[in-house]
């Protein structure tokens, strides 16, 4: 593996506009330029994605490692770096540094049913789990996806999720915060919808990512549904700078999220955020 502290060059092979609201989201499909720079990662890991002379941002790798030819990043336009990334066209070069962080213990979940609960761009780190489990379906139980966003226009990976519903590779439950023309799915917040869908905790692992307030109520509701602490995982997106446990920017409760996370079991998470 190449040195994860040194950025490698990657070519933007494809760009997909996922949402086009006030903070648009684009999915970048990139290929590492030099085949010698092998980039091996697992679901849940992130990379520093950058443009020389502009800067770098920590972004979840949203493709599955079962897809070996390329990597994908779904990036919301926020500020300097992500805006510059959104300006890029196919064929242009970015830098990728990593992979960073502890991945989801996905091999330990073999034989179990998998439930993902996502909100907004928080669906990005859940997507590699979804695609990994679909690509290794014989090793896992049923896959269920609960996903919500503010409006239908804010749902990322929508056509993929509709495709999974059709080919029955996953049970897909979509929700939006408020009624919208032509929306036939559920209306309501993700934590409430979780209680309506009422998944059984039996032999199930639940993984959640989204805005902190959503995570808070999803965790509470998973407990109400009878999920044990070791059946629940989440991934955090604290501000990061170095990504390698040096600068202290991502520190919370004595851990560096970049190095010790971003993936945490609920048991670990409770120690970091006792108020949750
Ligand atoms: C582990 C991890 C995984 C992430 N995965 C993704 C991903 O898959 N897709 C994605 O679009 N973004 C992701 N992010 C967030 C992303 O890193 C930031 O949005 C990005 O760095 C902003 O950089 P910028 O230069 O464009 O904006 P800046 O100019 O740095 O900031 C613009 C605005 O964004 C806010 N901001 C910056 N960083 C964060 C953050 N971490 N959380 C909340 N607000 C922030 C700033 O306060 C400011 O208001 C992830 C962050 C972490 C730590
Ligand atoms: S981002 Fe620097 S220590 Fe985590």
Tell me, in angstroms, the distance from the centre of ligand 2 to residue 159's CA: 35
Tell me, in angstroms, the distance from the centre of ligand 2 to residue 245's CA: 4
Q: Which of 97, 211, 237 to mutate to test the pocket of ligand 1 (most atoms within 8 A of CB)?
A: 237
Q: Is the CB of 59 under 6 A from ligand 1?
A: yes
CA distance 270 to 67: 34
Query: How much is the pLDDT for 170?
Result: 96
How many residues make up the chain in this entry? 276
Query: How much is the pLDDT for 35?
Result: 78
Tell me, in angstroms, the distance from the centre of ligand 1 to residue 58's CA: 7
**CATH number for domain 8-99, candidates 3.40.50.300, 2.60.40.10, 3.40.50.620, 2.40.30.10:** 2.40.30.10
Query: How much is the pLDDT for 2?
Result: 61
Question: Which CATH class name applies to 236-276?
Answer: mainly beta
106-235 CATH: 3.40.50.80
Neighbour-count burial of 139, counting CB atoms closer than 10 A to its CB (0-12 exposed, 13-18 middle, 19+ buried): middle
Q: Which ligand is nearest to the CA of 256?
A: 2
DSSP letter, residue 143: E
Q: Which of 4, 256, 262, 272 to mutate to test the pocket of ligand 2 (most atoms within 8 A of CB)?
A: 256
Query: How much is the pLDDT for 41?
Result: 92
Q: Is the CB of 248 under 6 A from ligand 2?
A: yes
Query: How much is the pLDDT for 124?
Result: 95
Q: Is the CB of 242 under 6 A from ligand 2?
A: yes
**pLDDT (tens place) for every residue of the chain, 276 residues total:** 567 778 899 999 999 999 988 899 999 999 998 877 778 899 999 999 999 999 999 999 999 999 989 999 999 999 999 999 999 999 999 999 989 989 999 999 999 999 999 999 999 999 999 999 999 999 999 999 999 999 999 999 999 999 999 999 999 999 999 999 989 899 999 999 999 999 999 999 999 999 989 999 999 999 999 999 999 999 987 777 788 888 888 888 788 888 888 899 998 888 877 666
Q: Is the CB of 250 under 6 A from ligand 2?
A: yes
Q: Which atom of ligand 1 is nearest to the CA of 101?
A: 1
CA distances from 219 to 117, 173, 206, 225 (A): 10, 18, 10, 10
Q: Is the CB of 112 under 6 A from ligand 2?
A: no
Q: Is the CB of 243 under 6 A from ligand 2?
A: yes
Handedness of CA 79, 84, 87, 90 (dihedral sign): negative
Query: How much is the pLDDT for 34?
Result: 82
Query: How much is the pLDDT for 275?
Result: 66
Query: How much is the pLDDT for 48?
Result: 93
Pairing of strands 263-265, 186-187: unpaired
How do the domains of the chain map onto residue ranges? 8-99, 106-235, 236-276
């Amino acid at each position: 593996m190449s040195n994860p502290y040194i950025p490698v060059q990657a070519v933007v092979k494809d760009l997909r506009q996922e949402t086009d609201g006030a903070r648009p989201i684009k999915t970048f499909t990139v290929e590492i330029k030099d085949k010698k720079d092998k980039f091996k990662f697992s679901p849940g890991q992130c990379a520093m994605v950058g443009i020389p002379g502009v800067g770098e941002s920590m972004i979840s790798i949203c493709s599955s490692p079962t897809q070996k030819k390329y990597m994908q990043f779904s990036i919301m336009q926020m500020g300097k770096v992500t805006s510059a990334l959104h300006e890029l066209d196919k064929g242009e070069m970015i830098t990728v540094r990593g992979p960073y962080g502890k991945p989801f213990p996905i091999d330990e979940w073999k034989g179990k049913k998998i439930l993902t609960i996502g909100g907004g761009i928080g669906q990005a780190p859940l997507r590699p789990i979804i695609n990994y489990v679909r690509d290794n379906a014989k090793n896992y139980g049923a896959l269920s996806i609960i996903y919500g966003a503010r409006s239908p226009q804010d749902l990322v990976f929508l056509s993929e999720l509709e495709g999974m519903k059709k080919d029955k590779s996953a049970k897909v439950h979509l929700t939006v915060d408020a009624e919208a023309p032509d929306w036939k799915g559920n209306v309501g917040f993700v934590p409430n919808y979780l209680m309506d869908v009422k998944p059984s905790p039996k032999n199930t692992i639940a993984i959640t990512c989204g805005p902190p307030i959503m995570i808070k109520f999803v965790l509470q509701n998973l407990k109400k549904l009878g999920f044990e602490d070791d059946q629940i995982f989440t991934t955090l997106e604290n501000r990061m700078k170095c990504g390698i446990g040096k600068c202290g920017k991502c520190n919370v409760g004595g851990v560096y999220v970049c190095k010790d996370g971003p993936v945490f079991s609920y048991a670990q998470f409770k120690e970091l955020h006792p108020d949750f």
